[in-house]
Structure 1
């Protein structure tokens, strides 16, 4: 059966229109995908806290949670959003003003600011998508050696197409996002948690002769080394050592350093809350620290117990591999929880009325490049690489949090003195506290803190 001339022309025209429509649809999809990659996050501020608003990478599901990026860690939000493009919120800055004492609560206009930031982000994404479409159209026209008029027509068609698709997509797939954002009044609303209440000062007279305070865990206590002279019951319970970096700093500077660190302490059970060890109850470290009203420095060493690091290391040594799905998921979950508790701690430190300078100690690398001596403990080079990676993740959170609050982070360097060297700064499996610093390791931490304090003093203008 032969097709008439007019019908053939109609079919050829329809085919060209269909091909053009498919090409424009593909171009629009590519342009929008590129725009999501390229569009800068939009900053909004409330109560001295700055949050950047952007979008997570589009997924296959048509609804789901967004993400809150806190100190480099992605935390799934409790609110769900409609559409494949959902908001990404990143805490980037906290001012050391009176509002930070609110432990996470922001001013009521946070919801309005987040909504405004999302709208701005969508507008920028639309403009960038149009620009991407125009660039692609010009490139295609150049390859096809199209005339100037044809090129302009292709660019116009591409820009109109991507704008239409983007507008319809945002309306149909992301129009409910502002409504959800308007219901968010604090960062804690995003992750569905109750912020820690401010820790009240402990009862007792002010400790006016204290120059510096140390808060934290067994690394700061100096566990495994000789106890302090004339130890109290709390000193024995917490394992506070005469060779701790707190004692080294006191000796070097002629300071009275109040070491409140305790073995087993976490942010919630030890620093901000009561810690129970057997029959002994240790009061919140921050509560006692507030009695040191003249202390110019607070040094914090925390995070390992929050992450259950010793158990993870032991499990790694006994397991065939360390990066299996179960242990990786456990580590990720613990890191997300620690990140949120760490924010509570940082905000309460920032709210201390006498405004001390705050040092956040990161963790040393106990393993080093030579790991042959560890193989008898079940730690192969591959396993050590996994542990090093996880330790780096913890340190990244500690460093990012300190930077966000304008505190100083300090990373001690045990290079040349790791476990398999002749003079290790780390206790091995035969020590009283494996993987904890020796007296030499505590001194190395003290030297790193001393250098940071010296740098801060030089940077501070003299009245």
Structure 2
């Protein structure tokens, strides 16, 4: 009697080892580890927290095909801010999302020397608890994926057995007999799938914890953790009064190529500001004084948040001047193409018959990510402007429609010109820029204006004139006077009631 009871126990481990070597179980384990784990990470939502008065969410970044990688801090506009000291082996790499920055009593306590130590301790505990909560939910999700995959694998195994039985020349087994004979295999397969997957998941969690703790040991400051950042622009010049609104940005807002500003200053001349600039046209539409700080060639680092050398002059940061304007109700922001060096892509697409190659796409992706980070800094500074004026981000316009066929699209002699495929590519990249502009504006609660400018190569009919300058004009692809009015109308439509004169 005793031997009959113990015999199955001795066979149990051997049967488990045989099952672990079977092809169906090997494939199931591979699926659970290499597809189920990334799926659980990607599908588990981050856990929302409030730490030191700030809204945070804690989770994990989507795994990449690398042995190790850094944890990540995501801010609005800073979607690729890797935390280099926190290198984690395995697929589970923590991610913390922060922003917009809130100013309240709890935030003030976090930087108060008397309470900062206690606040930091509380923050670390809250973040740890939030990640553990996320990890628990992800574990449940991974378990559900594993059980579902096991059920599918078991079903396939039973079907395979039934198919073999249908061809048997001897007595065919019933479904009940097939299930009874295969139940042990399926139980062992399920046990192995759950055990191996959860052991692998526990190992990933241990590696994530070890990498995070090890990385934090060498961190002595925030700049050690996430890298240094440039100083925010300081207020520049004397206080400015008498303006209801302001415009900051690049040559599209300055309206390069128009008539000069009456009584133009040296800065106006250096920046190419026109009498029919965006600021001037908004002022005309609303009967208000609107300050024009836009400058040709401006980008976020060189022009808006930092000084700009233009026309032989060193111009102060536009946001620095903006901080000195009192009583401001709204600010329009026109930025983007100079940060992406858009002219490079445009010239390349004119020069070749097919500009849809991986090299230039990779360069575009890199520049857009860099702009995204700078844009996050800009939004943060605009959110801190005195008086909290309404901020209106202006989308970028398309220069051509896909079927454009005219001298402006064909380009100068000796180049391939823009064909529909190249124009479509440029439009998709402009959409990528606009998506970044819109995402940041929404997150900060800023307004978004989308100008409807008629592209080049469009039949004007009895219209007032072209909205954009062509290749034969002084500044191709910039708005004309009519285009500037249309841009101003788009901005004026979203100015809130408190921006009235």
2-structure distance, mates of 1:101, 1:288: 27
Is 1:426 aligned with 2:439? Answer: no
Name the structure 1 match of 2:443: 404
Name the structure 2 match of 1:61: 66
Name the structure 1 match of 2:165: none
2:265 to 217, 224, 232: 232
The correspondence of residues 57-456 of structure 1 with structure 2, limited to 5 A, is 57-67=62-72, 74-75=79-80, 77=82, 78-79=84-85, 81-87=87-93, 89=95, 91=97, 93-97=99-103, 108=120, 114-142=127-155, 144=158, 146=179, 158-172=193-207, 175-177=210-212, 179-180=214-215, 192=227, 194-204=228-238, 206-373=239-406, 374-377=409-412, 378-414=417-453, 417-423=454-460, 424-453=466-495, 456=496
Q: Cα 1:306–1:60, aligned 2, differ >3 Å: closer, same or farther?
A: closer
1-structure distance, mates of 2:367, 2:139: 38
Q: Cα 1:47–1:32, aligned 2, differ >3 Å: closer, same or farther?
A: same
Deviation at 1:163, TM superposition (A): 2.1
Q: How many residues in Structure 1 have an aligned counterpart in Structure 2?
A: 445
The correspondence of residues 40-55 of structure 1 with structure 2, limited to 5 A, is 40-46=45-51, 49-55=54-60
Deviation at 1:48, TM superposition (A): 5.3
Deviation at 1:387, TM superposition (A): 1.3
Q: Give the unaligned 5+ runs of structure 2.
A: 1-6, 159-174, 461-465
Q: Cα 1:16–1:248, aligned 2, differ >3 Å: closer, same or farther?
A: closer
Q: Cα 1:201–1:47, aligned 2, differ >3 Å: closer, same or farther?
A: farther
User: Alignment partner of 2:283: what SS?
Assistant: helix
Q: Cα 1:11–1:247, aligned 2, differ >3 Å: closer, same or farther?
A: closer
Is 1:31 aligned with 2:65? Answer: no
CA deviations on 1:108-166 (whole Å, 9 max, x unpaired) are 57666554444333322211111112223334445536469867776565434432232
CA deviations on 1:221-263 (whole Å, 9 max, x unpaired) are 1111112222111111111112122111111211010011110
Name which of structure 1's ranges 311-320 and 243-252 shifts more when overlaid on structure 2.
311-320
Kept after mapping to 1: 8 A contact 2:303/2:315 = yes
Deviation at 1:72, TM superposition (A): 7.2
Q: Cα 1:328–1:293, aligned 2, differ >3 Å: closer, same or farther?
A: same
Q: Cα 1:262–1:172, aligned 2, differ >3 Å: closer, same or farther?
A: closer
Q: Give the unaligned 5+ runs of structure 1.
A: 1-5
2-structure distance, mates of 1:404, 1:439: 32
1-structure distance, mates of 2:399, 2:337: 13
Q: Cα 1:140–1:189, aligned 2, differ >3 Å: closer, same or farther?
A: same
Q: Cα 1:288–1:446, aligned 2, differ >3 Å: closer, same or farther?
A: same
2-structure distance, mates of 1:114, 1:307: 36
Name the structure 1 match of 2:172: none
Kept after mapping to 2: 8 A contact 1:215/1:260 = yes
CA deviations on 1:202-230 (whole Å, 9 max, x unpaired) are 232x3331100111111111111112222
TM-score by length of 1: 0.83
Kept after mapping to 2: 8 A contact 1:65/1:79 = yes
2-structure distance, mates of 1:51, 1:322: 41
Deviation at 1:457, TM superposition (A): 3.1
TM-score by length of 2: 0.78
User: Alignment partner of 2:333: what SS?
Assistant: strand
Deviation at 1:406, TM superposition (A): 1.4
User: Alignment partner of 1:215: what SS?
Assistant: strand
